[in-house]
Structure 1
Amino acid sequence: MGLLSRLLFKNYTMEDFDRDVKAWFGAGQPTMAGVRVNEQTAMRYITVYSCVRVLAETLASLPLFVYRRRSDGGSDKARDHPVYGLLHDLPNDEMTSLTWREAQMGHLALSGNCYSIITPNRRGQPVDLYPVGWHLVEPVRNQETGKIEYHINDRGKIEVFPAERVFHIPGLGYDGIRGYSPIRMAQEAIGLGLAATEFAARFYAQGMNIGGILEHPGQLSDKAYERLQRDVEKSWSGLKNAWRPIILEEGMKFNRIPMPLTDAQFVETRKLNRDEICGLFRVPPHMIANLERATFSNIEHMSLEFVMYTMLPWVKRWEQTINWKLFTKQEREQGYYAKFNLSGLLRGDAKSRAEALHIMRQDGVINADEWREMEEMNPIEDGSGKVYLINGNMIPVSSAGQDEAKSGQEPAEPANELKPLRKILWKGR
C-alpha cells in the first residue's frame, strides 16, 4: 500500500468527503427548481440512488477472471497470475473485489469517472489497487511530454502520477480523457426530483396538510398573538397532530385553502421525472421497483436489454481498461487478458441457467466436468466427465454422401417434377 493511499484512506470520513466536494465543486449548481445539485446531493434522491445501486451491484456481482490464450485457440484461467487474485479476491488489504468494483462503478455512474492508484512490483505487475475519489483527481496533459498525467489532491497537496500508475475508466466524454458527469448533464431533471421530494415531505410535515387562514373579527394583542402562534406550532402542526380538533376563541374562524396535489399534477410529475432518471442511467423501471407497466413478458425482454444495452458497454470499458493498465505489454503479447462472465446474471434464474447449460452439453460445447465446475461440484471420479457428447442423430453434411456410397445405395432422388428425367439419366451412366 502506497503512502498516498494511506493518507487518502486512513481515517477518511464523510465530513472529509463533504469538505473536498465543496472545495472542488462548491455546493452544486443552482437549478430552476430552486435546489442545488451535485453528485452528493443527487444520491439523496431515491431514483438516482436506486439506479446507481443497480449498476454498481450488478457489475460487482459478475464473475471476473484472468485468462491466457492457448496456441490451439482456447483459453485457460491464469490463477497463478497476480492480477487474478486482485480482480477475483482482494484488490487491496482493506476491501474485497466486490466492494472495490462496487465503489468504482458507483463513482463511474455518478461522475463519469473512477480512479484507483496502482502499486506495482519490480516487474511492473500490480500488487494492489486503492480507489481514489473522483473529486480528488484531475487528468492533465503535460505540455512538455504531451502525455496524460494525474494530479491527485492529498489534503491540499498535489501529487502527480504518471498514467500507468492510475487505473482510470472514463465514461462518455468530449475528448476521451475525462467523462461527463451524468449528474451535471441532467441537473435540472434531478433538481426537479429533489424539489418534488422536499415538497412532499413538507406537505405532510405541516400537520394540517394544506394551508389555512385564521380570521379574527377584531385585533389581537401582542401577547394573545404570541400565545396563538405558539399553540398552532405546538398543538396543531406536525404529523402527530394531524386531524386533531382546533379550539378557537373570541369568534375566530379557520378558513381552509384547498390545494390538492392533483391540482399541481404532482403525481404525474414525479412519475415522469422517475422515468427520465431511469433513462439517464438506462436502467429498466422494473429494476427500481416501478412495476406500473410491467408484465411477465416485457420484464423478461427488458432484463435481456439491460444486459445487452446497459451492462455490456460498461463491461467492455472495464475489460479494456483492465487489459491496458493491469497487464504489461509483454503479458498482453503472451495472451493474458481479463473477462467478465455475463452468464453470471442468470444465476438468479436456476431454470434458465440449467436449460442453457443443457443445450451446451447436448451440442458438445461443454463436458460434464465443466458443467459441474460451474455449479461448484467436484469432477466425476472415474474420468468419464471429460468426454464431450453430441446428439447422435446429427452428422456432418460432408459425410452424408460418403455413407451412401459405402453402402452401395443410390443417392436419394429429389421428389419433384424432374424425377423421371433424373432417373433416366442415372440409369444411363
Structure 2
Amino acid sequence: MSLNGAFSEMFAPSKRSASADSSFFGNYGGFFSLGSSNPYGMNTKTALKLSAFYNGVDQISNDIAKIPFAIYQKDGKNRISRTDHPANKLIATEPNYLMTTFVFRKTMAISYLIRGNALAKINVNATGYPVSTDVINWDDVRDIRLKKGELLYDVKGYDQPLLSSEVLHFKNFSHNGIVGVGVITYAAQQLGLAIEVQEYSATNFQNKGVRQGVIQTEKTIEKGKDKIIAGWKSAMGEKSPDRIVVLDDGFKFQPINITPQEAQIIEQSRFGIEDIARWLNIAPHKIKSLQQSTNNNIEQQSLDHVSDTIQPHITNWEQEYAKKLITPTELQNGYYVRGNLGVLLRADIKSRAEFYSRMVLSGIYSRQECRELEDRNAGPDLLDEFLTPVNTFTESQIDKNLNDGK
C-alpha cells in the first residue's frame, strides 16, 4: 500500500452517529475531566493560585515541551531519522501556523496535568496526509462515546463527532484507559487546606498581626456597646501603620490567644508544599523547597526527576503520537516516535566531559557523535572510528594485532 493510500485509509471518513452504545462521561459528569463537587470549590483557577502547584505544573509542562520529538525507523541495528515523513513536521517543528512545538506541547501538557486530558484535532489535506494539529479546549468536550467499536468525541463547535483517529488524546491518570482523571479531583482537600493557610497568612499580614479579641472593663455597660465596637473597628481599620487607639475609663483590650494549630502555620505551609509535590509526582526541590536537598544529593534528585517524573509522560506521548500519526504498515516496518530525554540530562561542563569520555572509551559513542551532541560541526572522518582501550581488547583484536605485526 502506498503512503498516500495508507493515510487515506487511516483518516477515511466512516459512518458517524450522535447515538452511542455507551458513554465514557455518562454517569460521571465532570468527574473524569476535572473534579466532582468538593467542599472547597476547588478548580483550576483557584488551584493555580498556590505557588507550589503553579510552579510544579509549570516545571513539568516545560520539561515535556522542551524535549525534541521526531520520527525514526529501525533498520536492522541502525535507526534512520525520517524527516521526510509528513507527520514529522507536526511533532518536530510546526504543529500549526499559530504555534511553535514548544507552545503547543506546553499548552497541551498543562491541560494534561491539571485535567488529566489534552485533546488536539488532526487536520489532513485532500490526499489524507496530516498537515496540522489544533488544540481543543477540554471544556468543549461534551462526551466520549463508543458506537459499534468506534470511539466518538462529541466536541462543541464541530457539526459531527470526531473519530478517535482524528484526534490526539493524551491521558494522564485514568481508571478506564479512555478518559483521564484530573489531579484536582482527588487533591481538592489538600489544595483547599493550602489555600486556607495562604489566605490566613495574607489576612494576618493585612491586619498587621492584630488579632480578634474582647474589650474588657469592670463596669457594667448597658448602653453604647455598639459604639465602642464601631469605634474600635474604625480605628483599627485604618491603613496607616501608625494607627493609635486610646482606651480610657478602665477599658482594656484582651486578644484571643492564638491556638497551637495556628502557631504551626509555617509548618503547615511546608507540609502543603510536600503534599503538592506528591500529587504532581515531582521532587520538592523542583518547586523550590530545599529543606531536604544538599549539594551532595541534588544531582541524584535531578536524575530521579527525569526517570520517575518526566519519562513516564514522554513514553505516554510517544505512543499516542505513533498510534495516531504513523500508519499500521509503517509501524510494522519499524517506524516509531522518540522524545530525546537527553536534553534534560545536560549537566555542567565537567560532568558532560566525564560522561562523554566514558561513552567514547566504552565504544558506545564515537568522537564524532559527541561533537554532534554538543552542536559542533563534523570533524575529520577519523573521528567516526570507535575507540577501544588497549587494556580491554578482545581476544580477536589481540590476535589481529599479533597477525598484523608479523
Cα distance in 2 between the residues matched to 1:374 and 1:343:
9
What displacement does 1:364 show?
Answer: 2.7
Deviations 1:279-298 (A, max 9, x none): 11111111111111212233
Deviations 1:362-410 (A, max 9, x none): 2333333322222121112x433333322233222456689889999xx
**Cα separation, partners in 2 of 1:340 and 1:326, compared to 1, 3 Å:** same
Deviations 1:182-211 (A, max 9, x none): 110121111111111111111211234322
**Cα separation, partners in 2 of 1:227 and 1:363, compared to 1, 3 Å:** closer
Alignment of 1:243-282 (within 5 A): 244-259=243-258, 263-282=262-281
| 2:17 corresponding residue in structure 1 | none
Cα distance in 2 between the residues matched to 1:298 and 1:26:
35
Deviations 1:136-156 (A, max 9, x none): 22452333x2211111123xx
Output the TM-score relative to the length of structure 1: 0.78
User: Structure 1 vs Structure 2: percent identity of aligned residues?
Assistant: 25
| 2:101 corresponding residue in structure 1 | 97
What displacement does 1:220 show?
Answer: 6.1
Cα distance in 2 between the residues matched to 1:333 and 1:26:
37
Residue among 137, 146, 150 paired with 1:147 = 150
Cα distance in 2 between the residues matched to 1:401 and 1:378:
36
Cα distance in 2 between the residues matched to 1:346 and 1:353:
9
Residue among 384, 391, 394 paired with 1:386 = 384
Cα distance in 2 between the residues matched to 1:392 and 1:407:
16
Q: Which runs of 5+ in 2 are unaligned?
A: 1-29
Check if 1:87 corresponds to 2:77: no
| 1:119 corresponding residue in structure 2 | 123
SS class of match (2:72): strand
| 1:360 corresponding residue in structure 2 | 359
Q: Choose 1 or 2 for highest CA Rg.
A: 1
Residue among 36, 39, 42 paired with 2:47 = 42
8 A Cα contact 1:125 1:326, kept in partner:
no
Check if 1:228 corresponds to 2:231: yes
Cα distance in 2 between the residues matched to 1:359 and 1:126:
42
8 A Cα contact 1:372 1:378, kept in partner:
yes
8 A Cα contact 1:139 1:177, kept in partner:
no
Alignment of 1:3-402 (within 5 A): 29-31=37-39, 35-70=40-75, 72-138=76-142, 140-143=144-147, 145-154=148-157, 159-215=160-216, 217=219, 218=221, 221=224, 224=227, 228=231, 231-235=234-238, 238=239, 240-241=240-241, 244-259=243-258, 263-380=262-379, 382-397=380-395
What displacement does 1:68 show?
Answer: 2.2
Aligned length: 375
Letter aligned with residue 164 of structure 1: S
SS class of match (2:253): strand
Cα distance in 2 between the residues matched to 1:61 and 1:402:
47
**Cα separation, partners in 2 of 1:175 and 1:248, compared to 1, 3 Å:** same
Deviations 1:314-335 (A, max 9, x none): 1110110011111122332333
CA RMSD between the two structures: 3.1
What displacement does 1:123 show?
Answer: 4.0
8 A Cα contact 2:235 2:243, kept in partner:
no
What displacement does 1:135 show?
Answer: 2.1
Cα distance in 2 between the residues matched to 1:401 and 1:385:
24
SS class of match (1:305): helix
Letter aligned with residue 153 of structure 1: K
8 A Cα contact 1:68 1:77, kept in partner:
yes
Q: Which runs of 5+ in 1 are unaligned?
A: 1-21, 409-429
**Cα separation, partners in 2 of 1:55 and 1:374, compared to 1, 3 Å:** same
What displacement does 1:233 show?
Answer: 4.9
**Cα separation, partners in 2 of 1:314 and 1:138, compared to 1, 3 Å:** farther
Cα distance in 2 between the residues matched to 1:372 and 1:402:
30
**Cα separation, partners in 2 of 1:321 and 1:26, compared to 1, 3 Å:** closer
The one of the two structures with greater contact order (alpha-carbon pairs below 8 A, sep at least 6) is 2
